[in-house]
Each structure stands twice: as structure tokens, then as C-alpha cells.
Structure 1
Amino acid sequence: MGAKEKGKRSVPCSKSRHFVQIDLTLSLRAEVPTGDADAGPSKNELKKRQKALEKEKKAAERAAKQQELAAQQAAAEVVRSSRHRLGRLELILDRCRILRQNSTVLCLSTSHRRAPGLPRAQISSFSTLDGQTVLFRARVQTSRAQGNKMVFLNLRQRSDSVQALVTATPEKISKQMVKWTAGLADESIVLVQGLVRKSPEPIKSASVQDVEVHVSQIHLISGIDGRLPFTLEDASRADTDEVIYDADGKPQQFNRVLLDTRLNSRVVDLRTPTNQAVFKLQSAIGDLFRQFLNNNGFLEIHSPKLQGAATESGASVFKVSYFKGSAFLAQSPQLAKQMAIAADFERVYEIGPVFRAEDSNTHRHLTEFMGLDLEMTIEEHYHEVMELLDSLFLSIFRGLREKYSAEIAIVGKQFPADEFKWREGPEGTLKLNFRQAIDMLVEDGVPRETLDDINTENEKRLGRLVKAKYDTDYFIIDKFPMELRPFYTMPDPEDPTLSNSYDFFMRGEEILSGAQRIHDPALLAEKMRSKGVDPDSMKAYLDGFRMGCAPHGGGGIGLERVLMLFLKLNNIRRASLFPRDPKRLDP
């Protein structure tokens, strides 16, 4: 090798089979610093460093992506391996059925496994199931996560609730399951399997306070699409103007859910424990009404709600199109009840809708409500009917107090009220005649000339006077003036200006109107004309009496009004599932 070739070596090139000569001497010289040592790195050196940094950055990004992908794959594997513990249930529920006879489970899908023969449980019974595994469906009322290892749930069935917890464990429950559970929206419906255990201390946020559920499986049945219009916590807050203070003495700020807001989103509002209790009590009143009358020889009937003529007066009926003519929505089953008596049914009752076309936007009026009506034959005196109705109400009041005290207490937490009182024992229910009631109001300062009728304001005033004097929220007024009653009311035989009619009151508001009915067709036609009703327009009704009808009487009760006043809800719309008034037809 010649002198010129010293310091040179040949290396293979990837693009050619020939060798390329690289001057290592020049390369070495480039590494030797020249000039001032403090001049800093050269431009080439900076470029090299920049490229090295970019290379390191890209390598770090690739590593991070690989790590993220690995984590996702691991999470997916956890979900796949524990699919039976969490996730959304299938929409069509025809793949799995418990066969109760032999305590086995017939399943076509393996995505959800249950303990063989495990029955569905009710939260209300959990206090008696300590140490047992339960399967139950509930709503997620609230959830609270503690890191990624534990989440507390408040699960609700109707008005019952229990605390449940999902805790990450190496053997069964993954952190991903805890995270998934914590992400469930409030009011979602879930299917839960878990072990009931005694709680170390009372759980004040739940109705079942002595036990909690340690969740082993949780499945989403139905989620929430959108946002809730208000929280159930806000909707369940006590209806009071009192200021509530926290532990530091500072006033607490709460969202108050107005009645219109509640009614516009009634489905959500009805989920509160208070409303669950209210409508359980409404159902109870209907049940107690039926029980009493069935035990007293009454027959339940179902009358038509489309009629060819108004029951009382055309001003308060809804007129509807009926093929080529018109019809009216029934103001009450009054005509049908009386015709049933003429047909020798003797004692009948009905629970059904009543329609009133009155533009009354008050706390106690609805355009459609549920009527509890009855009619019965009279043997000697119309007080037979009044006394039976009194016994009916006392039976309902006692039944509510004895069997539904828990529901009454739940409602009382949101709507605080004095306990409803009535008189028992030998003295019995307070009974006043109309003139006695007027005298009480006059003695209290109401001008007598303004008391041709007892209006709503004076009804409440009379209720306060009666409560103060007789210590009762329930009383009866008898012998109303004839001019105040409908055409079918029987006049008093001794004073034709009065009628054999009566009203019942709760907390100073009317909840029943009743009377002896006119069963003589000639007198009935006469009274119809005096009230501006053409007898020919109600020929079918009159014909029933022309063929003979026993003396009879009855009364009509407003279900929602009884419920409102017993619980003191202050507005009848709170006692109606989906109220109808002059301004509301939805929902």
C-alpha cells in the first residue's frame, strides 16, 4: 500500500458491490477542536444533537403508544375474562330463565351467569338476610368512588334503599370493574348480585341501615340518555321555608324544585321516596273503600263516561264530537248509579274518572279526577246513607293509620303536618247542620248576609273553628239549602227550602257531597225544569223512575282530595299521578 493510501480503508456500500474509500484521516481531523476552545459546538454538532433528540423523542412516543396499547389489551382481557361480573345486559330478555321447580338456570347466553336457583330479592327484606347472597334489580341513586379501589352505591327500589360497595380484590374484582361501576349514571337501572353483611355502623343515607351489600356482579339494564331535569335529592327535600345550617353555622344553599318543574318531568319526580309512598297510600284508600263496601253488600259497577246529556248543568261539562253529533264526558256516575238502583241492584259503588269543565285554577280543583261513588236503597231515613258513609271514612282512616304508618312517616318528612285527627268512641263524628255551621262563622265575625253559601275561604275558617273547639279534623254538615243542590236532591219534607243532603269535611275542606235522591218521576221532572234542565233531554233517565224505583241516596268522594288533605300535601296535583287542570294536558 502506497503512502497516499495510508489512513484509508475500504467499506462495503449497501447500494453497490464496489468499495467506497472513506478518508478516516479527515474524519479524525474533524473531531479535533481548532481555534478558541470557548467558541461552543459547531453548527454540524448542533444538528447532530437535534437529530439525536428527535430520535429519542420518537422512540419515547413509540414506547408510550406500545405501553398504552398493552394496557388497553390488558383491560380488554380483564373485561373478557370477567364478562359475567359486569357490563350491559342484552336488550331482549328471552335467553335466560330460572326454573324454580329444580332450582336450575336455563341460559342460552354465557355473558351473564347466576348462582343456580338464586331468586330475585327485595331490598326491604335485606335486614333478615345477613350472610346470604342476593340478586336484585335497583336504580343507582348515588355513587361515590374512593380512588380506583372502591366505590359506594346507594341502590333504590321504590322507597327502599341500601348501601352497596364494589371493592377491588386480586381474586375477583378488578380495578377496571370498580372504574366501570363508578361511571354508572345516577338513575341507571342495574342488576346486582352480592353478599349481604352487617354494616359496622348505621347507614343514615339508606332506608335499610343495618346491612350493606358487597357486590360480586353488576350489570347495566338501562342507562340514562341525556341529563336528569333535577336530582332526586333536591326533589326529596323537606317542603319548608326554614333555613338549614351546616356544622359551621352557615346557611346551606339548596336547589328548590318547583311544582311545575316536577309535573313537567313527572316520571322522574314520581321516583322520589315521598311520591312512592303517596301513591301507595292512594292505592290503599281505593282498596279500603272496596273492602268496606264489599263487606257491606255492595256491588261494583262500571258506568259509561260518554253521555248524551249533562248530568247537572251544561256549563261544567266537556262537549266532544261523537260521529255526526255530540256527546258529553260524564261529570259523575250519578245517573248510572240511580238507574242501577231502579234495576234492583240495591247497593252499588264505582271507582272511575270524573270530568269537570270548570276553569278553576286552585289548589284543590282538577278537570279530571278519580271519583269514589256509591248509591244504596233507604229503608226508613236518609241518615242511613250518611251514617254508612261516616263508617266508611272511619274505616279508611283507621286502615291507613294501622297498616301504612311507615308510608305516612315518609311523606311527613317532606311535608311536615299535624297528625290527622278524628273522633272515636261514644261521641262519634261531629255532625252540624248548615245553620249551626253558619252560626259558628257569624260568632267568629263573618257577616251573616255573606253566608248564603259557605265558600272555600269560610270552609277553611270553619275547619279551624271546629278543630279549636272539638279537636277534630273530620266533621259532617247536614241539611244544606235546596237552592245550593242539584236537581235530583230530595227536599226536606218539613222545610222545602232545605234538602236531605250533607257534605263531609277534612281539615276544613269538602271531600264528599251526597244526599237522598228524588225517586218520584213527577217531582224529579219538576225540579229539573226549576234548574233549567229539559226533562225530554234526559228521557232514558226519567223512564227508569217511571217504572218504579226504591227510595235511595248516596255520595261522591274525590280520591285525590281525600289523599291531599289526610297527608296535608297543600296541592291536589301532588296527589294526582298525571294531573289534568285547565292549563295542563301533558304529560
Structure 2
Amino acid sequence: MFLLGDWRRTNYSNEVKPEMDGEEVILMGWVHSIRALGKLAFIILRDREGTIQIVVPKQKVSEETFATAKKIGKEDVIAVKGKVVANEKAPNGFEVIPTEIRILNKAETPLPLDPSEKVPADIDTRLDKRFLDLRRPKIQALFRIRSEMLKSVRNTFYEEGFIEVNTPKLVASATEGGTELFPISYFEKEAFLGQSPQLYKQMMMASGFDKVFEIGPIFRAEEHNTRRHLNEAISIDTEMSFSDDRDAMDVLEKVVYNTFVDIYENREKEIELLGIDFKLPEKKFDRITYDEAVDIANSKGVEIEWGEDLSRAAEKAIGDEMGDLYFITDWPSKTRPFYTLHDEKNPEICKAFDLMYKELELSSGAQRVHKYDLLVENIKSMGMNPEGFGTYLEAFKYGMPPHAGWGLGADRFMMILTCQENIRECVLFPRDRQRLTP
């Protein structure tokens, strides 16, 4: 219920039905379009749930109401009190004839872009004026699906007995010892924006919480400029005690599958509005090893030497062969961070996995090293100083259980859920190499 002086919104547009013929309603929103035809005006009012037709016939409304209707422009914010009139010829089988119209705020003209989508705009213009772009029904549909995705992810975690946590985003050192960091001034010290909650997730495993998850921002100072990368992103992270890489993959599979189901069942309107080919995946995803992935790439003429990370061309070749969702497991140890557990029988490979959608990496995870001495040895072997990981390493001295986990990029996940080619479409205010505003 929206309070405005002596008026309260009674309904959103989708709540008004032909069966309400004769009932009084109060509607509030933006003027999506207006047509004035002499003694008759048609106003399409848009709110977050859709649009509704307001018909203003001069002979049936007060002079003041008709005069107000004539003053209205596109994207003005208005409130309308009126009666529902069933009319088979009207959109959705009814219209509203106002008894009073209030202009709550005027929009300047000309508009920087057209929220009614009649005049297209390029993505840079749209992002520059994102507040207007977000009024577009198709763009709102994207973020309704995003909201459903985050709700579904949380529900699955809660159903599986996970505890939600929030870890710091201001950190004293790199998560993985890398150089792709955003340094900041933190009083008299140097600090960084967190690349990942990885070290904190692992420290939580020493706390006895057993299973935790976090949905929050991560920051990567990578100088890329692609349709699949951002410098600020939302990551869905989890860590599980007394678990191995197979357990972690099972949970990831469940989180992703349940999200598809929930969107399919709860966001039919948005799927239809976006015109996307939304289909449910198989409940169990295919799993191939790194060795098998390399064989596929080589068989398609993309040369990959064992031990290399997969190139874009290799990912494309493998994705073409594998299809939608699949895991790549058993990665070469040298391609993974220091906290990844090596295979007991063959230390050249580790208990790591990636979840792929065609050629797009969605998630990366592994079973972690849980022994202090081995962790210190791994840090040194990668040319880093264990002293830089003091508080993290301390958690491994006093009883750290075996554990595993993963991180899933929420924005990339949205790309595949909504069939978008550019990750910026899936983020309210994207941050990339060129864009720091709005």
C-alpha cells in the first residue's frame, strides 16, 4: 500500500480484472504513452507489474480531470483514481475511467531514451541513462528473473542445511597471491578490495559451522574488455566441512538445477516477454576429466599441451561437443591455486572442477588442502611468502576438517538463464574497465 496524502494505491496494474467492473481503484505509475484525440484521451499507465489503459472522455469526466489529462506527457509520474469499466475491445478486457488525475512529477523533454522501446538505443546510451533504461518492461523482466535466481539459490542452500555468512571486502592481502588487485588507502595502511571470500570461507570451516554460503561482491583488476567479464561482480560462494570435491559438485548441481526449475515455474511471464528459449537441463550434468577435454580440443584441431589452461578456442571446441551444462574435473595441479588439494596417487593432478555452459565457465571449485604443513609448502612452491597469510594459516593449526567448496558467478549465471550475449545486460550498474558511472 502506497501512501500519498489522502490517497493510497489500491492495486497494481496486474491486479485489476474485468470482474471488478464498477469498482473504484487508485493506480500510480508512469505515463507509458498518451494519445489525445480531440474530446478523448487514452493514457497507458505503466507500473512495475505492467500497463493499464486509462480512457478520458471529455463528456464523462470533470473539466479539471480532462484538462489535467491534456497536460500529461510521456514518463510523467501520475496517480489516477477511477472506476473499472469492463470492455471486451479494451486491452485485457477493461479500462479505467478517471474521476481524478494527479500529476505527481513532470518529466523533462526530450527524453534521453525511450522506455516504451519504440526507439532503439545502443547499450552505452542505455547504461549512461540506466534509470530510464530500467523502466523498459524487458529490462525489468531480466531483473525479476535475477531476483528469482538469488531467491532460489538461497532456498536450496537453506534446504541443504547451510548457514549464510558475510565476509570482509576490505582485505590486507591477495586471496590467491595474484597481482590483479584494486589497492586502496586504508588510513595509514594499504589495503585491497577482495578478489574472493575464499580464505575467509576456509577459516569458517575451522569454526565448526560445517556448511556456509555467501552471496556478495568480488573485485578483479583484470584489464579485459569482453562481453563476459566485469571488474565488480556478484559471486555465490560456498564451503563444506567433512566433504570432498564430489560432494561440492553435487551441491552445485542441485543449486543450478533448482534455479532453472524455479524460474521455469515462477517466471513464465518474464520468459515470454523476453522471448527466450528457456529449457530445463538434465538433473545430472555430464562430467569429463581435463584429459578428456584436451582430447576433444585436439581432435577438433585446437592444439592444447597437457598442463596448459584451456584457451578460448579450446573451450569453444569442447563446448560444441559437450552441449549445455557439464563439469571438467581432475585439473593439472599447476593450473590451480595453492589451497587446492592434489590427488594422493598422482600429485600432478588435483581435486578441482569447473562447471561449464557450452564454452562459458560458470563456476570453479575444489577440495581444499586442510593440513597446515602442506598448505605452507604449497604457498612457498608458488613463490609466495607464508607470512602474508598469517591469520589465514593460523586457522589450520588447531583442528581444520577436510573441506571443499566453489564459487559461482551470479552475473554469468544470469547470462545463460536469460540467453544474453553481454554480461552488462544482467547487471544494474556494471563496472568494467571503461565504466565507473552511473
TM-score, reference length from structure 1: 0.71
Residues 241 and 401 in structure 2, CA contact (< 8 A), matched pair in contact too: yes
The aligned counterpart of 1:337 is 201
C-alpha separation between the residues in 2 aligned to 1:293 and 1:503? 20
1:365, CA displacement in angstroms?
Answer: 0.7
Match of 1:198 among 67, 80, 86: 86
Cα distance change on mapping 1:316 and 1:582 into 2, 3 Å: same
The aligned counterpart of 2:48 is 158
SS at 1:233 equivalent: coil
The aligned counterpart of 1:528 is 379
The aligned counterpart of 1:502 is 353
Match of 2:294 among 435, 438, 442: 438
The aligned counterpart of 1:188 is 76
C-alpha separation between the residues in 2 aligned to 1:223 and 1:406? 30
C-alpha separation between the residues in 1 aligned to 2:317 and 2:277? 17
Residues 304 and 310 in structure 2, CA contact (< 8 A), matched pair in contact too: no
1:440, CA displacement in angstroms?
Answer: 1.7
Amino acid at match of 1:138: G
* RMSD of equivalent CA atoms: 1.9
The aligned counterpart of 2:241 is 377
Q: Does 1:211 align with 2:94?
A: yes
Residues 290 and 330 in structure 2, CA contact (< 8 A), matched pair in contact too: yes
Cα distance change on mapping 1:568 and 1:461 into 2, 3 Å: farther
C-alpha separation between the residues in 2 aligned to 1:371 and 1:95? 38
1:421, CA displacement in angstroms?
Answer: 4.5
C-alpha separation between the residues in 2 aligned to 1:168 and 1:575? 44
**Deviations for 1:399-424, whole angstroms, at most 9, x for unmatched residues?**
11111121122122xxxx43344113
Aligned residue runs from structure 1 range 528-567, under 5 A: 528-567=379-418
1:460, CA displacement in angstroms?
Answer: 3.0
Cα distance change on mapping 1:260 and 1:94 into 2, 3 Å: closer
Cα distance change on mapping 1:279 and 1:352 into 2, 3 Å: same
Amino acid at match of 2:5: C
Q: Does 1:575 align with 2:426?
A: yes
**Identity level (%):** 33
Aligned residue runs from structure 1 range 459-474, under 5 A: 459-467=315-323, 473-474=324-325
Structure 1: give runs of 5+ residues left out of the alignment.
Answer: 1-92, 98-113, 204-208, 238-254, 468-472
TM-score, reference length from structure 2: 0.95
Cα distance change on mapping 1:405 and 1:189 into 2, 3 Å: same
Higher deviation after alignment, 153-162 or 223-232: 223-232
Residues 166 and 216 in structure 1, CA contact (< 8 A), matched pair in contact too: no
The aligned counterpart of 1:489 is 340
C-alpha separation between the residues in 2 aligned to 1:129 and 1:295? 40
Match of 1:230 among 104, 113, 129: 113
1:488, CA displacement in angstroms?
Answer: 0.8
**Deviations for 1:21-59, whole angstroms, at most 9, x for unmatched residues?**
xxxxxxxxxxxxxxxxxxxxxxxxxxxxxxxxxxxxxxx
1:323, CA displacement in angstroms?
Answer: 1.0
C-alpha separation between the residues in 2 aligned to 1:133 and 1:382? 59
C-alpha separation between the residues in 1 aligned to 2:5 and 2:67? 27
SS at 1:339 equivalent: helix
C-alpha separation between the residues in 1 aligned to 2:280 and 2:193? 36
Number of matched pairs: 436
Residues 432 and 477 in structure 1, CA contact (< 8 A), matched pair in contact too: yes
**Deviations for 1:131-187, whole angstroms, at most 9, x for unmatched residues?**
32111111100000011x1100111112411111111126x422x643431331211
Residues 152 and 165 in structure 1, CA contact (< 8 A), matched pair in contact too: yes
Residues 487 and 528 in structure 1, CA contact (< 8 A), matched pair in contact too: yes
Match of 2:265 among 396, 402, 413: 402
SS at 2:116 equivalent: helix
Residues 352 and 371 in structure 1, CA contact (< 8 A), matched pair in contact too: yes
Aligned residue runs from structure 1 range 125-274, under 5 A: 125-127=15-17, 128-147=19-38, 149-169=39-59, 172-174=61-63, 177-201=65-89, 203=91, 209-234=92-117, 255-274=119-138
SS at 1:564 equivalent: helix
1:580, CA displacement in angstroms?
Answer: 0.4
The aligned counterpart of 1:13 is none
Residues 506 and 562 in structure 1, CA contact (< 8 A), matched pair in contact too: no
Amino acid at match of 2:242: I
Residues 114 and 120 in structure 2, CA contact (< 8 A), matched pair in contact too: no
Residues 420 and 566 in structure 1, CA contact (< 8 A), matched pair in contact too: no
1:202, CA displacement in angstroms?
Answer: 5.3
C-alpha separation between the residues in 2 aligned to 1:376 and 1:225? 53
Residues 68 and 101 in structure 2, CA contact (< 8 A), matched pair in contact too: no
The aligned counterpart of 2:146 is 282
Higher deviation after alignment, 190-199 or 327-336: 190-199
C-alpha separation between the residues in 1 aligned to 2:186 and 2:100? 56
The aligned counterpart of 2:281 is 422
Aligned residue runs from structure 1 range 5-16, under 5 A: none
C-alpha separation between the residues in 2 aligned to 1:397 and 1:94? 37
Match of 2:156 among 288, 292, 308: 292
Aligned residue runs from structure 1 range 336-355, under 5 A: 336-355=200-219
Aligned residue runs from structure 1 range 94-113, under 5 A: 96-97=5-6
1:496, CA displacement in angstroms?
Answer: 1.0
Amino acid at match of 1:125: E
Structure 2: give runs of 5+ residues left out of the alignment.
Answer: none
1:95, CA displacement in angstroms?
Answer: 8.1
Amino acid at match of 2:11: A
Amino acid at match of 1:140: V
Residues 13 and 49 in structure 2, CA contact (< 8 A), matched pair in contact too: no
Amino acid at match of 2:145: L
C-alpha separation between the residues in 2 aligned to 1:200 and 1:94? 32
Cα distance change on mapping 1:142 and 1:367 into 2, 3 Å: same
C-alpha separation between the residues in 2 aligned to 1:517 and 1:285? 27
Runs of 4+ in 1 over 6 A off after TM superposition: none
1:129, CA displacement in angstroms?
Answer: 2.6
Amino acid at match of 1:153: I
Amino acid at match of 1:173: S
SS at 1:432 equivalent: strand
